[in-house]
Amino acid sequence: MKKNLFCFSVLWLLVLFPHFLYAHTPFPAPDKYCLSCHHGIAPIRQHNSGMMKEIYEMGKEAGDPNGCVVCHGGNPQATKATRAHKGTVSYFLSHDGPKNFYPDPGSSWIDENTCGLCHQQQVRSQMNSLMMTEQGKIQGTLWGFGGLEGYEHNIGNYVTRNPDDTHARLERNLIRNICRCCMIRTRRFILPK
């Protein structure tokens, strides 16, 4: 019995307590701005993470301490959805950031204005990734069925060219350790330093 109580106590302190603590940390301005309508929405990262702290700081400069406009744009002062989900705050008209309201700020067609604020290399290189171009898949299928000869991957979902500069591509370790986890169902996440 004592051993079970001890194990539960250790589990609580190491795993459950930090999750409970961070999960209940409020937004900087709960129930205000975008959150006056979007009740109960979760942040994209833990409130105390470095990424969320940067988003909150930039949001504060832009007039939205909850940081919603940093990724989505829109008007956090509006009280009606049609006005809130339109345009962007004046701060981002003269600074990098959303130039309109984006319901899906992670879309590769606009993410240079959202994710690209902090993740420039990933955004620049994503358009040449296998998941975007399908070059390797299309080339492999065509070659496998005798439609092509050679291994030059130059057929994709849109016109693209794989950059000669390896720094313009995503880091190889990132691909190996994160992307492949979905492909082969591993749980090995080793982020590059």
**How do residues 4-60 score in pLDDT, each as one tens digit?**
666 556 555 555 555 555 455 689 998 899 999 998 888 888 889 999 999 999 999
What token pair was written down for 96?
């990098």
Handedness of CA 5, 8, 12, 14 (dihedral sign): positive
Residue 151: partners with Cβ closer than 8 Å, 6 or more residues away: 139, 143
Domain membership of residue 3 (yes or no) is: no
Please say which residue of 92, 118, 144 terminates a domain: 118
Tens of pLDDT, residue by residue over 106-156, are 888 898 999 999 998 888 877 777 677 777 677 777 777 777 666 566 677
Yes or no: say if 163 and 128 are a contact pair by the CB < 8 Å rule: yes
Please say which residue of 87, 118, 149 terminates a domain: 118
Please indicate, yes or no, whether residues 125 and 113 belong to a single structural domain of this protein.
no
Please indicate, yes or no, whether residues 134 and 167 belong to a single structural domain of this protein.
yes
Prediction pTM value? 0.64
Nearest 5°: phi and psi at 66? -80, -15
Q: How far is CA 21 from the centre of its chain?
A: 23
Please indicate, yes or no, whether residues 39 and 102 belong to a single structural domain of this protein.
yes
Least confident span in 36-40, 93-97, 167-171? 167-171
Domain membership of residue 137 (yes or no) is: yes
Residue 160: partners with Cβ closer than 8 Å, 6 or more residues away: 127, 128, 132, 133, 135
Please indicate, yes or no, whether residues 43 and 126 belong to a single structural domain of this protein.
no
Domain membership of residue 14 (yes or no) is: no
| Domain residue limits at 128 | 120-193
Please indicate, yes or no, whether residues 135 and 101 belong to a single structural domain of this protein.
no
Q: How far is CA 145 from the centre of its chain?
A: 37
Least confident span in 80-94, 108-122, 173-187? 173-187
What token pair was written down for 103?
């319901």
Please say which residue of 100, 118, 136 terminates a domain: 118
Yes or no: say if 27 and 47 are a contact pair by the CB < 8 Å rule: yes
Domain membership of residue 103 (yes or no) is: yes
Mean pLDDT for 58-83 is 95
Yes or no: say if 96 and 112 are a contact pair by the CB < 8 Å rule: no
Distance CA 115, CA 105 (A): 7
Please indicate, yes or no, whether residues 89 and 59 belong to a single structural domain of this protein.
yes
